[in-house]
Amino acid sequence: MIFADGKDVAAFVRDIKPVNRQMMAQAQARLDNLTKPQGSLGKLEVLARRISAIQQTIRPDIGHKVILTFAADHGVAAEGVSSVPQEVTRQMVYNFLRGGAGVNVLARHVGAEVWVVDVGVAGDIRADGLRSRKVKAGTDNLAKGPAMQIGDALKALGVGVETAREAIAQGAKILGTGEMGIANTTPSAALFAALLGVEVEEITGRGTGIDDATLRHKIEVIKQGLRVNSKHLTGPLATLAALGGLEIAAICGMILECARSGVPVVVDGFISSAGALVALQLADHAADYCFFSHMSAEQGHRLFFEKMGLEPILDLDMRLGEGTGAALAMGIIEAGVKIINEMATFAEAGVSV
Amino acid sequence: MIFADGKDVAAFVRDIKPVNRQMMAQAQARLDNLTKPQGSLGKLEVLARRISAIQQTIRPDIGHKVILTFAADHGVAAEGVSSVPQEVTRQMVYNFLRGGAGVNVLARHVGAEVWVVDVGVAGDIRADGLRSRKVKAGTDNLAKGPAMQIGDALKALGVGVETAREAIAQGAKILGTGEMGIANTTPSAALFAALLGVEVEEITGRGTGIDDATLRHKIEVIKQGLRVNSKHLTGPLATLAALGGLEIAAICGMILECARSGVPVVVDGFISSAGALVALQLADHAADYCFFSHMSAEQGHRLFFEKMGLEPILDLDMRLGEGTGAALAMGIIEAGVKIINEMATFAEAGVSV
């Protein structure tokens, strides 16, 4: 077991080091020597130099890409906060494994693998290709008490660490986060509200597409969850346990492991950002390794970026999750990596500076 | 010769038909039946259904992609409006042909070919792979009189039409615009000012990266160009000739040909948008076939989108031109096309609606 208690987590995150700023400057020097006006490739250059700094080379390589899609269910679904039945979590896992979901299509498009991890789906689920690491068959209802006991949250965090470690051991040079879990915008919004100190009304959105009445109900459910769990909200880890989800904890763990191992990690959308927020509150320097893929159409994601002073790569009005945004952003990050590797310098091309 | 006079252009653009809205609805119906909440892939769905409408099929195909990079010089470079010597236009053509420029790297990344067309580079230039269709060795100085006689502008427009036609005949399913021409943000800003009725100060930016004093001078040069050419600014075609560039005219022609042939065309950045603006003023329905790739960091591009009520796909702070933005956006458009082709439906996946 990776984490027996919060002290183990604290020890783990102490190993996360800031990236090498010197290497960032070296990468920019190379970018400035390529046949283009300085800085004219904008964010592609920013991405390339950050990947260079993380990998400690001005010839970075993110050829081997893996998206980890963690699936889990949520007790709070019983409150009727989603328009989609809980059964769909399990059905979608099979869809992922057969390659028919959005994340499969977009991952193939950018040349990434999709690893599907059951970290807490309700009910039995067995299939070839599935990584079965179920901590618990769904969380408890956060509107009535803690979603998870701290021990289960630590176990789910550990699943994220272990799966990331396995992908890295198999050669992955960049990881992407992904998730599936009916009702999981509810724990995500609750986490943002508790950890960022923002209003529930501002951070809560329509998820899969609920109507006005259900949205009002969802807001009330989240407020109730914050009230009944108020004594548990004593820090990022305790808050993650009380309000979060098993897949959200796994995403948090995977981000921490990437940061500790010096591997770039692309954060998907709204729900993945909730996991990332916990990781960033646990470990400042983890942000150096995170690439936020896109601005979700889910209301509240903009507020997360504003509060954190972060900027996503894409803004395509998407709100599907699964890792779809992470996949698309990997394609953009790889474009930047190819720029630094493949463009000719002024000298090579005989172009007047 | 494709266009002997403005009447030929008028006849040509009359053949441009609006896309099939019925097919757009059919494409959306398929998208709504795929295993995701309706509309949750945002702009990817918007892109997919527009490609479907253009190609008249809900199984669209943009596998074969070609970027046309038109190179030409500008008499107005003599006014010192750029920080880069004119010679660089020719040097960069060789860089394109050797595959070392930004557009080459990004085109390879998305699986697109780059065709390099000399439509008006100053000085002799011969090389394997270059399409030599020089109309004139650069435009005249727009600050002193018309940049082009109308006949030369029509010839350059025709080069755009013919090259697009050739790419389409060879199987291209989507085209991207690209350009190279030292000083060409100056004629572009002049065109925007004249055709959109915006202030020169608002639309004029720093191009390759000029300092404040040069920017003030560039603005004065453009104002002078608008004054000395005022009697020629009688319509989009006459304005294109008086203030534009040979590569800008070719881009305009290529967009018109794509629209006439029912082929989607991805518009690169600031300079390509100037060519697109002329095309859109000549032919309303041409907009149905245009995909604006990105918001350039060049000041004024935002104003173009606002005035035209258009929205770019990406916003990555880029300002290189060449077709780099078009290449990246092709990757996003193809993601949308793959979504509509490859995702499982609810029935296929056995997922509860």
Q: Is the pLDDT score of B346 beyond 90? A: yes
Strand order in the sheet with A112-120: A131-132, A112-120, A65-72, A174-180, A265-267, A290-292
Closest residue of chain A to B102, computed from CA coordinates: A343
Distance CA B238, CA B230 (A): 11
Which residues make beta-bridge pairs with B177?
B68
Query: Domains in chain B, ordered, with CATH?
Result: 6-60+339-349 (1.10.1610.10), 65-331 (3.40.50.10210)
B-contacting residues of A 43-102, CB under 8 Å?
43-44, 84-85, 87-88, 91-92, 94-95, 98, 100-102
| Cβ atoms of residues B118 and B97 within 8 Å | no
Cα–Cα distance measured from residue B321 to residue B70, given in angstroms and rounded to the nearest whole number? 11
B9-58 pLDDT, tens digit each: 999 999 999 999 999 999 999 999 999 999 999 999 999 999 999 999 99
Q: What would the 3-class secondary structure string for B194-214 be?
A: HHHCCCHHHHCCCCCCCCHHH
Are B279 and B229 contacting, i.e. CB atoms less than 8 angstroms apart?
no
Size of interface A-B (CB pairs under 8 A): 173
- Give B61's pLDDT tier (boundaries 50, 70, 90): very high
Closest among B291, B235, B292, B285 to B260, alpha carbons compared: B285
Q: What residue type is B100 in one-letter code?
A: G
Nearest CA in chain B to A328: B332
Going by their DSSP bridges, the two strands B112-120 and B131-132 should be labelled as parallel
- Taking 90 as the threshold, does the pLDDT of residue B231 lie above it? yes
Cβ neighbours of B102 in A, within 8 Å: 34-36, 41, 339, 343
User: Looking at chain B from residue 106 to 125, which residues have their Cβ under 8 Å from any Cβ of chain A?
Assistant: 106, 108-109
Q: Which residues pair with A117 in a beta bridge?
A: A70, A131
- Chain A, residues 244-303, CB within 8 A of chain B, namely 297
Side chain identity, residue A291? F
User: Which one, of A54, A261, A91, A280, lies nearest residue A163 by Cα?
Assistant: A261
Q: Does B351 contact chain A (CB < 8 Å)?
A: yes
By Cβ distance, the residue of A37, A208, A313 closest to B208 is A37
Contact at CB, B352 and A41, closer than 8 angstroms: no
Of B313, B315, B339, which is closest to A105 when you measure between CB atoms? B339
Catalytic residue numbers of A, as ranges:
322
* Residue whose C-alpha is closest to residue A122's, from A112, A109, A134, A130: A134
CB A309 within 8 A of CB A290: no
Angle between the A185-196 and A246-261 helix axes, to the nearest 10 degrees? 60
Contact A91 B349 (CB under 8 A): yes
Interchain CB distance below 8 Å, A320 and B351: no
Q: Which helix (H) or strand (E) holds A308?
A: helix A301-308
CB contact under 8 A, B351 and A313: no
Whose CA is closest to B189, among B154, B140, B156, B226?
Answer: B226
d(CA A63, CA A333): 11
- Out of B257, B322, B342, B348, pick the active-site residue: B322
Distance from CA of B5 to the nearest CA of A (A): 38
Q: What is the pLDDT of residue A142?
A: 98
Distance from CA of A224 to the nearest CA of B (A): 27
Within chain B, where are the H helices? 6-14, 21-32, 42-55, 87-98, 102-110, 150-169, 185-196, 200-203, 212-228, 236-243, 246-261, 270-282, 301-308, 324-342, 346-349
DSSP-derived pairing of the beta strands B290-292 and B174-180: unpaired
Asked if A208 contacts A188 with a C-beta cutoff of 8 angstroms, the reply is no
Q: Does B313 lie at the interface with A, CB-CB under 8 angstroms?
A: yes
Chain B residues whose beta carbon lies within 8 Å of the beta carbon of residue A65: none
CB A187 within 8 A of CB A139: yes
Residue A237 in contact with residue A279, Cβ under 8 Å? no
How far is the alpha carbon of B330 from chain A, nearest alpha carbon, in Å? Answer: 12
Joined together, the tokens standing for residue B301 give 């591009």
Look at residue B244 in the predicted model and tell me its pLDDT: 98
**DSSP assignment of B125-139, as one string?**
---TT-EE--SSSS-
Contacts of A268 in chain B (CB under 8 A): none
**Closest chain A residue by Cα to residue B107:** A335
Closest Cα in chain B, distance from residue A329 (Å): 10
**In contact, B187 and B164? CB cutoff 8 Å:** no
> What is this structure's pTM?
0.98
- Contact at 8 Å (CB) between A157 and A9? yes
| Residue A349, H or E segment | helix A346-349
Work out the end-to-end distance of chain B between its first and last CA atoms, rounded to an integer number of angstroms: 57
pLDDT class for B352, splitting at 50, 70, 90?
Answer: confident
DSSP single-letter state for residue B344: P
**β-bridge mates for residue B212, sequence order:** none
* Nearby residues of A61 by Cβ (< 8 Å), 6 or more positions away: A55, A173, A337
Angle at the Cα of A30 (from A28 to A34), degrees rounded to 5?
A: 110
Nearest CA in chain A to B207: A37
Question: Quick check: B316 and A43 CB within 8 A?
Answer: yes
Complex ipTM tops 0.95:
yes
Distances (CA, A) of B326 to A72, A100, A158, B2: 39, 28, 42, 26
Helix (H) / strand (E) containing A290: strand A290-292
Output the six-digit token pair for A147: 């979603």
**B271-282 pLDDT, tens per residue?**
999 999 999 999
pLDDT at B342 over 90: yes
* CB-based contact A183:A76 (threshold 8 Å): yes
Shortest CA gap A154–chain B (Å): 31
| Residue segments in chain A with a per-residue pLDDT below the cut of 70 | none
CA distances from B258 to B158, B273, B305, B316 (A): 13, 15, 21, 26
- Are B173 and B271 in contact, with CB atoms under 8 Å apart? no
Residues A88, B352: C-beta atoms closer than 8 Å: yes
Q: Say whether A316 and B44 touch across the interface (CB within 8 A).
A: yes
Contacts of A179 (CB under 8 A, 6+ apart): A69, A70, A71, A72, A247, A248, A251, A268, A271, A272, A275, A321, A322, A323
pLDDT at B353: 76
- Does residue B315 belong to the interface with chain A, where contact is any CB pair within 8 Å? yes
Q: Residue A352: its pLDDT value, please? A: 87
Residue B38 contacts A, CB cutoff 8 Å:
yes
Residues B86-101 pLDDT 10s: 999 999 999 999 999 9
